[in-house]
Amino acid sequence: MTARSAGFGARLAEAVLARGPLCAGIDPHPGLLDAWGLPRDAGGLEKFALTAVDVLAERVAVVKPQSAFFEAFGAPGIAVLTRVQEHARAAGALVLLDVKRGDIGSTMGAYAGAYVADGAPLTADAITVSPYLGAGSLAQTVELARAAGRGVIVLARTSNPESAAVQNALLPNGKTVAQSIVDEVARWNEGVAPLGDVGVVVGATVPAGELDLGGLNGPVLAPGFGAQGATVADLRRVFGPGLPGVLPASSRDILRHGPDPVALREAVVRVQESLAGQGFADGGIGPISGPVLAT
């Protein structure tokens, strides 16, 4: 895979304008394999993942494979993940690989080389990363991703309830840990148009008003939509005027309709129509225009 001439933010903006903002997860959870009547082995994984990507990737802007569920099957699972990424790109979708890597020094450099460098088998359009060894530990990854026309999505305020104890902890400057991460990402995105290449994860289930995303100039991946309980109305309540920059993420709520490809396709269409009904289709994705406040 060669480097892109346009940055990830620009390519994402173009994809969302064409297909809407839905980020569709591909999570081969053992329970979903069971529900689809598939064995919990590499063969079942392959059937599940390729069926899902072949339906989803032709309709959505972004597909998000959850790497852990592929890694659980060892080398055969990684081979399936590689094929999923190839199928998604062939269908015109961007691949956001959900790996949540976070380390320091040469170890983080190796992760960056595996996931965002040119020529690596698992290179994706963007990856999720963890900043909890210090946001500065991600600088090399951000630099390498940008040089290759790819993106990085940084965990900031996640949707799992236990995250609040760490992510809402106050720093000496009075900011929360989550806000400090958002602010660091905003600095990385300064001056990038039409949209920065570095985004943040902010759960759709978090209380409104916790974060100021006004200077982010990057995408917001919003997990918690669908199976975790957040509705389209919740997305608008939580993100308010920042809604045009939000990528709602849904996986199990769509995948539970498999293995019938027709039922999967209909589920995707329903979700996309519900988002369009709340204004998510108006003008595509752009910079966040204000703080995350209830409207």
Taking a C-beta distance cutoff of 8 angstroms, is the pair 151, 129 a contact?
no
Q: Does 175 participate in catalysis according to the annotation?
A: no
Pairing of strands 94-101, 246-250: unpaired
Q: How many CB atoms lie within 10 A of CB 274?
A: 16
6 phi, psi to nearest 5 deg: -105, 150
CA atoms within 13 A on the CB side of 232: 14
215 phi, psi to nearest 5 deg: -105, 10
Q: In DSSP terms, which residues pair with 200 in a beta bridge?
A: 154, 220
Which two tokens mark 85? 């990424």
In angstroms, rounded to a whole number, what is the distance separating the alpha carbons of residues 188 and 190?
6
Q: How many CB atoms lie within 10 A of CB 161?
A: 10
Alpha carbon of residue 81 to chain centroid: 16
Q: How many CB atoms lie within 10 A of CB 78?
A: 15
Pairing of strands 94-101, 126-129: parallel
The residue among 33, 2, 7 whose CA lies nearest residue 191 is 7
In angstroms, rounded to a whole number, what is the distance separating the alpha carbons of residues 286 and 244?
6
DSSP E strands, 77-125 = 94-101
> Which residues have a catalytic role annotated?
100
